[in-house]
Chain A
Amino acid sequence: MNFDDTPQEAEFRATARAWIAANAPKQYEEELRKSSLGRTQLKSANILEVAKAWQKKKADAGWACLHWPKEYGGRGSSPIERVIWQQEEGPFGKLSQMFIIGHGMCGPTMMAFAREEHKRTYLPPLASGEKVWCQLFSEPAGGSDVAGLRTRAEKDGDDWVINGQKIWTSGAHYSDYGILLTRTDPTVPKHKGLTMFFLDMKSPGVEVRPIKQASGASDFNEVYFTNVRIPDHQRLGEVGDGWNVSLTTLMNERMSIGAGVATGFPELFEYCSSLMLDDGPAIEDRAVRSKLANWAVKASGLRYTSMRAISALSKGERPGPENSIGKLVAGSMIQDVATYALDLQGAAGVVSGPEDAEVAGRFQAMLLRAPGTRVEGGTDEIMRNIIAERVLGLPGDIRVDKDVPFNKIPTKGRG
């Protein structure tokens, strides 16, 4: 048992480290290091421009999308090399936020289902960040139940005509392309009538509207489709096979290892280490210590769980299912941590403006953003279902709509 690199890994790490040291946009390092949750912003520059420039620089030197094949703009690296790169990239990795969906989900789906000429056309500019992609799955009527989506695609000559509405689309407002899951047959059971496409987000009839979140920020969008035309050659997979195609996309969503999930613990420990309470330093208060210790072992448990997964990758094995706990544990933890940090501030905790609030309002911001972390990318409840069914082998839910034609499924809970 050890934490050492193999000689090849050490060599790769040294090469990556040297290149990053010589090329990374260091002027933003401190600001990036400090941001902890939600969409990263820069005070001194437009983050989209900084991110695109860094991605292009990486792509030109062969450091973009390490795990992709070279012919599509990647490096053909092993999974462990990808992890080492992420470790070395450190805070600059936060600049990849706007590419995560494109690189992690759209790219792999295109690779698995698009025509060869489309792969060669669309994947390299996706890898280099010159084109940004988004993923159009969730709908007002289909969140956790993605297969309940209602956006229609109807065949018209060589085209498909799209009408409907998507929601919670990250980055739709700056995306060039998207992958889109639609309903092509409402007369068959819901999983069987879906078809996947990719489209140009500048197509006539596509309208993007930002959602104002409960936190006040706008990280996501609604996307409306009105008679949007998509040529049939942009279909991904067979007609009616969209559900299987989407599983490829979603599986890739959960494959990201080593990036480390935010728990809020380092921030809270740092805060409590210098905070004075009425009776003395917070860190010497018995109740505070007990809370901190309980969160400390969750944070370290997640850290070492991911190291176990990295070790499996290093040996060329598939990581076990234990990595599926990360989002579930971190999501509710960061919410609890933020709530407690405000509790320690007493009445002053209510002040959230960065100029006037404790530690620039970082815990207030964390509190307001936290509910989203427990919902996005699979709610806590869906994550528990996944663990129970795929890891523990428990039976799936009894699905009352499984064999019912989609257009016969009730759409209202009451009246």
Chain B
Amino acid sequence: MNFDFSDDQKQLRDQARKFLTEKCSSKAVRVVLDGKAPYDKELWKGLAEMGFLGVAIPEEFGGAGAGHLELCVIAEEMGRANAPVPFSSTVYLAAEALLIAGSDAQKKKWLPAIASGEAIGTLALFEGKGNPSPKNVKLTAANGVLNGVKRPVADGAVADFAVVAARTASSGRDNDISLFLIDLKAGGVEVKSLTNLDPTRGQAEMTFKDCKAEPLGAVGEGWSILTQVLDRAAVLCAFEQVGGADRALEMGRDYALDRIAFGRQIGSFQAVKHMLADMYVSATLARSNSYYGAWALSTNAAELPEAAAAARISATQAFQHCAKNNIQVHGGMGFTWEFDCHMYYRRANAMALGLGSLSYWEDQLIDRMRKKNAA
């Protein structure tokens, strides 16, 4: 049994950590947090140069042709660093949708541009309140144009292209939904930035008015493709969440060691120690579930749907738990803008919603476990 990353993959993780420690300091993250830039363009360029944006994109489409395990270790580091770049939208959602369903021409057009850092992509799925579901897709596609509103769309304000879920029929079944590819520079889409929990990753509203669109994948296959994309993204996001949870735990641990109150390190009080021990437990469970997700993703195993849902739930819980208790360990200082604790708290809670909320994934997990047991 070798249920671990290889030495090469661990080396890649070290390399990513070193790069991000240097290029993605808290100071750099704060430029975006304070609204002085929509994302860190320098960092984005650097990530392209390092080959990280295209690590799971095949070489024939301009990527490094490594694989999803390599992408997982990079994702973990992106989460640790709280990187203020449209990485998840572009790499986990847009690129994966293209890899699963794109025509050769579509892949040739967009994948090399993603790998080189020239194109930012996103997925436009949600339309207001609610979780991923065919019945929540109201935006219509007819005669080659889209009409409707998507909100929120992660990184929508900085994206160059979008994968859009649209209604092409009204039978009440999954195959009412189809995917479309939109070049956002070509007009027909009005984009408005939305104030959101985590300013280091933008959210936008996109209004489509007779917007020209080309199908991505077969008409009627949209929901099936989306489900696969969301499963893959769930595993990759779980690694970001695991990275964030670990970092929040470390920050709390370090503060508990440094801070003196009542004449002793606060980390010597069991109330504080036990809180940190419980954070370690959550983070460890999340890491192990995510490893299983990584295995299923990288081998395209039949277990992926169940593994992805478990990783998603576990990592979401762990990041939220560690981020909120990191603030608690810090006391009043943790609630200042100046300390970094709130950046992880914001990121943890935004990520908990991005691919659909916990209750949605809980439902998915039970459905998938039942399906497996029935099989």
Contacts and interface: CB of A to CB of B under 8 A. Distances in A.
B268 interface: yes
Contacts of B286: 301
B294 interface: yes
B107 to A, nearest CB: 26
Contact of A300 (B274, B284, B292, B295): B292
Interface residues of B, number: 49
- Give the one of B286, B313, B373 with max A CB within 10 A: B313
Interface string A377-394: 000010111011101111
B368 to A, nearest CB: 10
Contacts of B274: 381, 384-385, 388
Contacts of B288: 300-305, 307-308, 322
Contacts of B362: 289-290, 293-294
Given A305-B288, A385-B270, A293 B313 contact: yes
B2 interface: yes
B60 interface: no
Contact of A2 (B2, B249, B264, B289): B2
Interface string B1-28: 1111110000000000000000000000
Contacts of A387: 277, 280-281
Interface string B339-375: 0000000000000000000010111011001100100
A269 B368 CA distance: 13
28 contacts: A1-B2, A1-B291, A1-B295, A2-B295, A2-B299, A3-B295, A293-B366, A294-B313, A296-B310, A298-B285, A300-B292, A300-B314, A301-B285, A303-B288, A308-B288, A314-B1, A325-B281, A325-B285, A383-B277, A384-B277, A392-B249, A392-B280, A393-B257, A394-B253, A395-B257, A395-B268, A396-B268, A397-B270
B298 interface: yes
A108 B274 CA distance: 31
A273 interface: yes
Given A289-B363, A290-B359, A1 B5 contact: yes
A66 interface: no
A314 B4 CA distance: 11
A304 B296 CA distance: 13
- Give the one of B249, B365, B373 with max A CB within 10 A: B365
A285 to B, nearest CB: 10
B314 A398 contact: no
Contact of A301 (B256, B277, B284): B284
B291 A315 contact: no
B273 interface: yes
A415 B354 CA distance: 59
Contacts of B121: none
Contacts of B267: 388, 394-395
Contact of B277 (A9, A322, A392, A396): A392
A292 interface: yes
Given A289-B362, A325-B285, A387-B277, A398 B268 contact: yes
B264 A398 contact: yes
Nearest to A297: B314
A389 B267 CA distance: 9
A328 interface: yes
Contacts of B264: 395, 398
B289 A393 contact: no
SS class of chain B's interface: helix, strand, loop or mixed?
helix
A322 B286 CA distance: 12
Contacts of A302: 285, 288
B69 interface: yes
A310 B287 CA distance: 16
Interface of A: 1-5, 9, 269, 273, 283, 286, 289-290, 292-294, 296-298, 300-305, 307-308, 310-312, 314-315, 322, 325, 328-329, 381, 383-385, 387-389, 391-398
B4 A311 contact: yes
A297 B268 contact: no
A283 B284 contact: no
A5 B1 contact: yes
A293 to B, nearest CB: 4
Contacts of A325: 280-281, 284-285
B6 to A, nearest CB: 7
B289 A297 contact: yes
A392 B276 contact: yes
B278 interface: yes
B370 to A, nearest CB: 7
Nearest to B367: A289
Given A290-B359, A296-B369, A297-B313, A1 B3 contact: yes
A292 B366 contact: yes
B289 A397 contact: no
Contacts of B278: 384
Given A283-B370, A294-B313, A394-B273, A300 B289 contact: yes
Contacts of B2: 1-4, 311, 314-315
B265 interface: yes
Contacts of A315: 2, 4
A294 to B, nearest CB: 7
Contacts of A395: 257, 264-265, 267-268
Contacts of B314: 297, 300-301
Nearest to A315: B2
A241 B292 CA distance: 44
A366 to B, nearest CB: 21
Contacts of A305: 284-285, 288
**Closest 9 A-B residue pairs measured CB to CB?**
A301-B285, A293-B362, A304-B288, A388-B273, A384-B277, A387-B277, A394-B267, A305-B288, A395-B268
- Give the one of B294, B361, B369 with max A CB within 10 A: B369
Contacts of A294: 313, 317, 362
A388 B295 contact: no
Nearest to A389: B273
A87 B119 CA distance: 50
Contacts of A328: 277, 281
Nearest to A272: B366
- Give the one of B264, B292, B359 with max A CB within 10 A: B292
Contacts of A283: 366, 370
Contacts of A2: 1-3, 295, 299
Contacts of B287: 322
